[in-house]
Amino acid sequence: MPGKTTLLAPSILSADFTNLKASVELAEKAGADWMHCDVMDGVFVPNITFGPFIVKAIKQCTSLVIDTHLMIIDPDKYIEDFAKAGSDQITVHLEACPHLHRTIQFIKSFGVKAGVSINPATPVSLLEPVLADLDLVLLMSVNPGFGGQKFIPASVAKIANLDAMRMEMNPDMVIAVDGGITEENAAQVVEAGADSLIAGTAFFRAADPMAAARKLKGLE
């Protein structure tokens, strides 16, 4: 898409937790658009990260969009807490929400943008009943739970399929992709239809995060 500006969302999970403020400031200086907060409960995914207090702390350090990704079971219990902590958008997993439409409307009731994420083995067709209600879809291109995994190549076709659905049903919806994003595959992912790239290791662990950000955003 000529002239398309790729959004960059550094994942705080790969940041330096001994100095989160400096990590957030680095992301801002590098031209990031969102700060991506991966919330894991050790049940839905095999890892435990953090709760609303970290989101609140990050919100106090930045004016960037706070993008909160709830990889947890029964997210409805915690949506209000994460909204009040400062999340600008909250994404839940289709696989964790038996009443997905209701959960989406609950997120929006707090004045927060609503997103839905799907795991690599979940077909994009399952999103069709709620696609018109969404502000964003987050496609997982690795199995969630840990950073530093390799991108699953079949994700490219899923992105393209979702892009086609989006253009027909909800053209303003954002497609974000999370997992194994690198300087080498970013252009292919964007070409397939992604608008926003979630990058943890590729940004915070890069030898030169500033240069990595430019490459991920397609600026060089």
Residues that constitute the known binding site for substrate: 11, 69, 145-148, 178-180, 200-201
Angle, CA 83 vertex, CA 127 and CA 35 arms, to 5°: 80
Query: How would DSSP label each residue in 31-89?
Result: T-SEEEEEEEBSSSSS-B---HHHHHHHHTT--SEEEEEEESSSGGGTHHHHHHTT-SE
> Among residues 33, 38, 163, 195, which one is catalytic?
38
Binding residues for a divalent metal cation: 36, 38, 69, 178
> Among residues 135, 163, 178, 195, which one is catalytic?
178
Give me the amino acid identity at 144. P
**The tokens of 168 are what?**
């027909």
Of the chain, the end-to-end C-alpha distance in Å amounts to 16
In contact, 31 and 213? CB cutoff 8 Å: yes
> Is 172 known to be catalytic?
no
> How many Å apart are CA 175 and CA 23, to the nearest integer?
25
Binding residues: 11, 36, 38, 69, 145-148, 178-180, 200-201
Task: Report the candidate in 86, 80, 161, 79 with the shortest Cα–Cα distance to residue 128.
Answer: 161
> Is 38 known to be catalytic?
yes
| Residues identified as active-site | 38, 178
